[in-house]
Amino acid sequence: MRFFTLVRYRFFLYAGLLPYLLGAAWAYGVEHSFKPGIFWLGLMGILLSVVGVEAFNEYFDSRMGTDRVFNPSDEAPISDAVLWLGIAAFAAAAAVGLWLAREGGWPILLYAFLGGLAAVFYVGPPVRWVYRGLGETMIALSYGPWMTLGSLHLQTGRFSWPALFASLVPGLLIAALAVVNEIPDYHQDRLVGKRNLVVRLGRKGGVRLYTGLAAAGLCVPAAGVALKLFPFPALAALLAFPLLVKSALAARDTYEEPRRFVPAVRSIVLCYVVGAGLFTIGLWVSAWT
């Protein structure tokens, strides 16, 4: 159980896995190609990467004091064991990536390298993307195009422009999720020097930004079907729109009160899961229709 106290495993469920599954679903449903062994090995690499990301985030946030600005005694400092867990996880993920590159060629190394730069230096020195206002962009690229196209390349060995367009669904939705999570931490982030988008735009501007990003992400399936780039079942993603509306309505009145803002966060998390999940399922079942 100690492992689960070191790593906030919620990202296994709604952030790290869905873009990878989307790439595999595109390969199976649209390009009619699927390699089970490669799929499972790639999934292992993604899980290891998520462990590394979460461990690094916890460790460096603790060292910067981000989570204890107003209540320094609330939590004990994070152990150095968390840092070593992150290093070991990233090293194992890199080993998996090198093995997969033997099958998929140099593009797999490129996707792994880009994702590694984003993950290791998201809060890690010396780059600290999140402190430079680039954290949300790195998250969108990592959990959108890079992970989706990397997963697709494992299965097909090819790049696909329509699949790149499809990767905007999880990319934009996860960017919205990143922004909405920054709104309750506005004052803490300002005090520790995190110049993220909410700090730059203000909390009200952050609400507008995250709702716009999520709406754009959910419009992608409709545009793709209209342009005949996506199969018709991909429209199932639109069922997530009520969750976005629910989040936006809650955020409108509570963005200055972190405790009351929780329902807005929960609804956008569900919007990500439902929207990206149903989009992925729609692509998968298109192989049968």
* Token duo for residue 276: 């990206």
Query: Which residue segment(s) compose the domain that 33 sits in?
Result: 2-285
pLDDT band at 69 (very low <50, low <70, confident <90, very high): very low
* Token duo for residue 180: 């909405």
Per the CB < 8 A criterion, the answer to whether 153 and 159 are in contact is yes
- pLDDT for 70 equals 44
pLDDT band at 66 (very low <50, low <70, confident <90, very high): low
* Higher per-residue confidence, 132 vs 4: 132
pLDDT band at 2 (very low <50, low <70, confident <90, very high): very low
- pLDDT for 9 equals 43
- pLDDT for 236 equals 96
How far is it, in rounded angstroms, from Cα 149 to Cα 154?
A: 9
Mean pLDDT of the residues in the chain: 84
Which residues fall within 8 angstroms of residue 114, CB to CB, at 6 or more apart? 141, 142, 146
Report the pLDDT averaged over residues 141-163.
92
Whether the pLDDT of residue 91 is over 80: the answer is yes
3-class SS of residue 255 = coil
How far is it, in rounded angstroms, from Cα 35 to Cα 286?
A: 18
Which residues fall within 8 angstroms of residue 202, CB to CB, at 6 or more apart? 186
Per the CB < 8 A criterion, the answer to whether 145 and 107 are in contact is no
Per the CB < 8 A criterion, the answer to whether 247 and 267 are in contact is yes
Whether the pLDDT of residue 216 is over 50: the answer is yes
- pLDDT for 138 equals 87
Percent of the residues in the chain that have a pLDDT greater than 70, as a whole number: 87
- pLDDT for 234 equals 95
Cβ-count burial of 106 within 10 angstroms (0-12 exposed, 13-18 middle, 19+ buried)? exposed
Per the CB < 8 A criterion, the answer to whether 179 and 164 are in contact is no
* Token duo for residue 70: 């107003």
Cα–Cα separations (whole angstroms), residue 23 to 169, 221, 259, 286: 12, 15, 36, 14
Query: How many independent structural domains does the chain possess?
Result: 1
Report the pLDDT averaged over residues 54-58.
75
How far is it, in rounded angstroms, from Cα 273 to Cα 47?
A: 17
Tens-place pLDDT, residues 9-52: 455 445 778 999 999 999 999 999 999 999 999 898 888 888 87
What pTM was estimated for this model as a whole? Answer: 0.84
Nearest to 154 by CA among 76, 273, 289, 44: 44
- pLDDT for 14 equals 56
How far is it, in rounded angstroms, from Cα 275 to Cα 235?
A: 10
Report the pLDDT averaged over residues 219-245.
96
